[in-house]
Copies of this chain bind each other. A is one copy, B any other.
Amino acid sequence: VLDGVLLALKAYSQITEIVVVGDEGEIRRALSASGAREARLRIVHASEVFTMEDKPLVAVRRKKDSSLIRAIELVKEGKAEAVISTGNTGGLVAAATLKLRRLEGVDRPAIATFVPSLKGQFILLDAGANPECKPLHLVQFAVMGHVYAREILGQKRPRIGVLCNGTESHKGNDLTRDTARLCQEVDFNFLGYVEGNDMFAGNVDVVVTDGFVGNIVLKTIEGLGKCIVRTLKSELTANPIRQIGAAVASGALRGIKRRMDPDAYGGAPLVGLNGTVIKAHGSARETAIKNAIRVATETIQHRTNEHICREIAAAHHKLAARAAVDAGAPEFPVHKKNEDLAAKL
C-alpha cells in the first residue's frame, strides 16, 4: 500500500496530501525501510483492524478505533476528500453509508467496477453492495454509472444496458423488465438488455444489475481470467521449445497483460455517498493502489458527486412526470418527493 501511495504522490502533483491511517509504529518502520521522504504523506494512528472475518454492522459499532472507521471519519469531518480501502467490502459499504450518508436522491450506494473489454473498459454496477434491489435502485445505478463513464472513462455518450439472460424484451424477470421500462424514460443512451458478449465486445459502457448477480459475474470474470492465465503459463513453460517461443513473443504476453490488467483501474468506486469512497482489491499491489488513488483524484476533480445529484434529480423528475401522465394527471407541474417515487416504484 505504501509503495502505491508513494508512486501516486510522485505521479499526481495535484494531490496535496495523502493520509495513511493505521498502526503508526508499523507504518513508520515500513516508511524508513523504504527510505522514502515525502512531505505530502501524513500518518493518522488507529489501534484496531477491521478484519475480513468481522461482521460489518457489529464491527462498525465496536471497532471505533479501526483504520477503516478512522479513515472514513476524516472524510466525514472534511479533513479528506476521498477514502480508499483494500479491506472488508461489507465493512466499507456499511461504515461509509452510515457515516457519510447517501447523496440526495440516491436510495442505495453501489459498487462500480471497471472491467476491461476488447475496446477499452466498461463499468459494471452494482458489483456487490446490494444483493436485493428494486427497479428504481437499478435506474439510479444506471444514472451514476452514466456519470462515471462520461467523467472517468471519457465516453461522450455512454451506452447503458441492463444485464439479462437474452436481449429480447420478453426475456428477464420483473426486476429487469421494470428497470428497462423506467430507463427508457431517462435522458441517456439506453440500449435495453445486454449479455456477456456485448460487455466484452465493447458494445456497452455501463452494465446495470443487482449486487447479487453483479458480484457473481465479477467473480466469474476474475476466476476465469486467473484460470486462463494459469493455463497459458503452464502450457508455455511445459518444455524448453515453448519457453523459447514465449520469450520471443514476450511482447505479446506483456501486451495481453496490459490490455486485460484488472490493476489498470485498481479500485472500484462506491458511488452515491457524500464523499469519494474507493474499494481497492484485497490483493492490490502498488500499481493497483496508485491507480485507485488516480480514480479518487479524477472523481473529485470532475465533481462527480455534483453531476450525480443533478442527474439523479433530473431522472426522478422525468419518471415522476411519466408516472403522472400514466395516472392521467396533467403532466406539469410535478413536485413529487423522491421518497414518494421510490415507495411507488
Contact = CB atoms under 8 A, between A and B. Distances in A.
Contacts of A248: 241-242, 244-245, 248-249
A250 interface: yes
Nearest to A223: B196
Where chain A touches its partner, the secondary structure class is helix
Interface residues of A, number: 62
Nearest to A116: B227
A111 to B, nearest CB: 11
Given A200-B224, A222-B197, A173 B132 contact: yes
B236 A252 contact: yes
Interface in A224-251: 224-228, 230-232, 235-236, 238-239, 241-242, 244-251
Contacts of A215: 165-166
A216 B118 contact: no
Interface stretch (A255-263, A288-296, A311-319): A255-263
A236 B132 CA distance: 43
Contact of A165 (B131, B197, B235, B247): B131
A238 B216 CA distance: 34
A4 interface: no
Interface string A153-168: 0000000000111100
Most chain B beta-carbon neighbours within 10 Å: one of A131, A132, A223, A244: A223
A173 B245 contact: no
A304 to B, nearest CB: 26
A256 B235 contact: yes
A40 interface: no
Contacts of A195: 216, 219, 223
B163 A227 contact: no
B241 A249 contact: yes
Nearest to A230: B118
Contacts of A197: 219, 222-223, 226
A238 B255 contact: yes
A256 B230 contact: no
A36 interface: no
Interface in A12-49: none
Contacts of A212: 165, 172-173, 213
Contacts of A231: 118, 256, 259-260
Nearest to A218: B196
Interface string A244-282: 111111111101100110000000000000000000000
Q: Which 8 A-B pairs have the closest CB atoms?
A: A245-B249, A245-B248, A196-B223, A196-B219, A200-B227, A165-B215, A235-B252, A196-B220
